[in-house]
Amino acid sequence: MTDERRSPRKTTVTLAVATAALAAVIFIADTATLLDIAVATLYVVVVLIAARFCKPRSVVLVGLGCVALTVLSWALAPPARPSVETLINEFISIVTIGVVTALALHAQQTVSTLRNQANLLDLTHDPIFSRDMDGKILYWNRGAEELYGFKGAEALGAVAPTLLQTTFVTPLEQIMTRLLREGRWEGELINRKADGTSVVVTSRWSLQRDNAAQPALILETNIDISERKRMEEALQQAQSDLARLNRVLVVGEMTASIAHEVNQPIAAVVTSANAGLRWLDARPPVLEEVRQALTRIEKDANRAREVVSRVRALVKKVPPRIEHWDLNEAVGEVVALTRPELLRNGVGLRNDLSDDVRLVKGDRVQLQQVLMNLIVNAIEAMTGVHGRPRELTISTARADPDTAMVEVRDTGTGIDPGHLNRLFQSFYTTKAEGMGMGLAISRSIVETHGGRLEAAPNEPHGAVFRFTLPTRKNAQASTEVLRS
């Protein structure tokens, strides 16, 4: 038998012997005392001690035994002149022993219930602990020990936020205000384990009040979501990489048009440079013509640089930039980049940009990618159209006071009504060489910004794609989503 098992048993035996000895001493004193005092009342001490190590049935037997000893003392040494006072004292002793026995049994049952409840809380793997309103830990279950690495002896009495070095995502003052108002709070916290590593938890707080309805203690239940957060971050990174790949592929499809767009100003630069050299070689040099040639070179070089900058902005890997920007200006930049593709495919462009729509909030590059995807899809849908005009209409408008709308309308082959619900599914495509990711990524980007992307047939021919964005007044919620 180990020392741990022997020690509690030895303590129980010691208490039993001490209790029996105390009962014997009280019995002798009660029997030998001739004064009219209720010595037998001291048996309540025997009952209370027995309640600490005896089972309920044994406590009842101890109480009955104490009553029997009281009666036996009276029988062995009855008072010479029994009086009302002595009878009352004897009755008080017996009643007191009975009441204390009943209270001891009730206390045992209460303690047993609480112990069973605590054992049930220990069965869960989730950390559960309670603390008073000053933050001192009153209860610390096994799940808390396993997650945080602090044993119960270390945690009890410690201030929870200090012990766990808690980082509050929501300010503590706001948490307590809501807790006192509603009686509960739920949110994310960052705690630190005993080994110094951080853990992200979903925390639920419940407020318990005392009989006077005053805040008494807080019960906190935590769920470790560190792994889930890491997976969400990895998924977000994968989505970002996939969106960038989609931009690269779209730009790749437009390589010929982009090359043509860049070659035009470069060819103009070469022409202007040759002309400038000829004017310098003239005798005398015609400086005014040279100045005009240099001006044209600067203008054409800037044109080429703008094209390259727009392409680089779309394909380079950069984190989302949440800012206010001019929607119509951003649309104009995408149109400028896709204009050669429109010309090459004989597509007429009509801009219908509303002056009522200006600043929106979000990541400019991501939303320009959405628009570019829609324009490229519209151009491809019209390549097989003959016998009627190929027209692309890009419009902006205010859908409501807090929402802007961008619409891309083409006169292409249109959309099969039976496929409308599948258009935005990943890997669904009607193109022979398509990946089926462009529209799925576009919808994801728009929804992340707090908007919607929808498609519908265009009358009499073609398709309409429109997406909404919150304006500056209604962009706070989407900003929080993008930053998280």
Averaged pLDDT for residues 306-317: 65
H or E stretch at 408: strand 403-410
Of 440 and 239, more confident: 440
Rounded-to-integer distance, Cα 126 and Cα 223, Å: 6
**Pairwise CA distance, residues 474 & 403, whole Å:** 7
45-87 pLDDT per residue, tens: 888 888 888 888 888 888 888 888 888 887 887 766 666 777 7
Q: Using one digit for the tens of pLDDT, what is the confidence trace for 406-424?
A: 999 999 888 777 666 667 6
- pLDDT digit string (tens) for 112-160? 666 666 565 565 667 888 889 999 998 888 888 888 999 988 899 999 9
Strand bridging mode 215-224 / 128-132: antiparallel
* Residues near 424 by beta carbon (within 8 Å), at least 6 away in sequence: 439, 440, 442, 443, 453, 455
What does the alpha-carbon distance between residue 154 and residue 131 come to, in Å, rounded to a whole number?
Answer: 14
Q: Can you give the pLDDT at residue 317?
A: 55
User: What is the length of the chain?
Assistant: 484
Is the backbone peptide bond immediately before 284 cis, with ω within 30 degrees of 0? yes
Using alpha carbons only, give the angle 238, 240, 241 rounded to the nearest 5 degrees: 65
pLDDT score recorded for residue 399: 83
Instruction: Provide the mean pLDDT of the chain.
Output: 79
pLDDT at 1: 44
Q: Which residues contact 65 (CB under 8 A, 6 or more apart)?
A: 23
**First-to-last CA distance in the chain?**
57
Q: Quick one: how far is CA 93 from the chain centroid? A: 63
Element (H, E) at 202: strand 198-209
Q: In this predicted structure, what is the pLDDT of residue 308?
A: 74
- More confident: 340 or 139: 139
What order of strands is seen across the sheet that includes strand 403-410? Answer: 348-353, 391-400, 403-410, 463-470, 453-457
pLDDT, position 245: 62
pLDDT of 165-221, one tens digit each? 999 988 999 999 999 999 999 999 999 999 989 999 999 999 988 888 899 889 888
